[in-house]
Amino acid sequence: MTEVEVPESHPRYESLLTRHRIEAGVEKGITSRQGLIAQGRGEAYDYLLGERTIPSADEAERAAAAQFLLADQAVVSVNGNVAALCPGEVVVLAEVTGADIEVNLFNRTEERMERIADHLREHGARDVLGLAADGRIPGLDHERAKVDADGIGSADTVLVPLEDGDRAEALAEMGKTEIVVDLNPMSRSAQSASIPIVDNVMRAVPNMTEHARSLEDASEQELRDIVAAFDREAALAAAEDAIRSGDLG
């Protein structure tokens, strides 16, 4: 038996584990109640994708890993859903790629900010950014505009899992290379990303880490070639096609 009291062989194990983590996140004051709704929406897309990493998502995750290794400063942006679903996996990705971790919330309260930072530290994070909030993303009038000047504010590459569309667009307008993880390929955030990853964040983050590990010895030119070869339009089209032809059986 595991975290969700069902054996890993259960056909809906991953889905039940995800639900359990989000529920526990709400109980712990990490995840917002809106996060439950966002999770439900994500699950519907994941179901149609067959709850697997499709080949175009794997390519996107490889390109994202290469981009992280190339970056002068990469940051993983963490919200209440990501903190509940894959805190340890975010910490390992940051360690392997030398990235920073920053908490950034749509429904921002100081209490949730602190709880998420503590939760990430419990999972091994050394430094957690986001609490200083001494920078702003221009053109946004909600709480997500608040960033750390020496975190997302100065980063050249930002990974934004489970985002709402307008910050994703604003970050792109700031000239940052933006990597989005979103199970909906039609969402504004996926559409505005330099590298859209249409996959469940619980699969995407560890797979990015695995790719980063295997690219450890790659030259700068090899990494640049991987990023240049990635075709965002083709990846979005492949994901939409997989969803539209998804089998509900």
Provide, rounded to whole angstroms, the least separation between the CB of residue 114 and ligand PTJ: 14
Provide, rounded to whole angstroms, the least separation between the CB of residue 198 and ligand PTJ: 8
Q: Which residue is nearest to ligand PTJ (CB)?
A: 42
Provide, rounded to whole angstroms, the least separation between the CB of residue 13 and ligand PTJ: 15
Provide, rounded to whole angstroms, the least separation between the CB of residue 16 and ligand PTJ: 13
Provide, rounded to whole angstroms, the least separation between the CB of residue 25 and ligand PTJ: 9
Closer by beta carbon to ligand PTJ, 73 or else 184: 184
Closer by beta carbon to ligand PTJ, 67 or else 200: 200
Decide: 136 and 143 in contact? Cβ < 8 Å: no
End-to-end CA distance of the chain: 27
Decide: 73 and 100 in contact? Cβ < 8 Å: yes
Provide, rounded to whole angstroms, the least separation between the CB of residue 42 and ligand PTJ: 2
Residues 6+ apart with CB under 8 A from 41: 183, 184
**Phi first, then psi: what are they for 103, rounded to 5°?**
-85, 130
Decide: 79 and 120 in contact? Cβ < 8 Å: no
Positions in the binding site for ligand PTJ (CB under 6 A): 32, 34-35, 38-39, 41-42, 45, 79-81, 85, 105-107, 162, 164, 181-184, 187, 200-201
Decide: 15 and 44 in contact? Cβ < 8 Å: no
Residues 6+ apart with CB under 8 A from 175: none
Provide, rounded to whole angstroms, the least separation between the CB of residue 237 and ligand PTJ: 17
Closer by beta carbon to ligand PTJ, 224 or else 246: 246
Decide: 53 and 203 in contact? Cβ < 8 Å: yes
Per DSSP bridges, beta strands 74-78 and 135-136 are unpaired
Decide: 206 and 167 in contact? Cβ < 8 Å: no
Closer by beta carbon to ligand PTJ, 184 or else 218: 184
Closer by beta carbon to ligand PTJ, 102 or else 182: 182
Closer by beta carbon to ligand PTJ, 105 or else 223: 105
What the block records as the tokens of 197 is: 């990853």
With 0-12 CB in 10 A as exposed, 13-18 as middle and 19+ as buried, what is 72? exposed
Closer by beta carbon to ligand PTJ, 62 or else 223: 62
With 0-12 CB in 10 A as exposed, 13-18 as middle and 19+ as buried, what is 167? buried
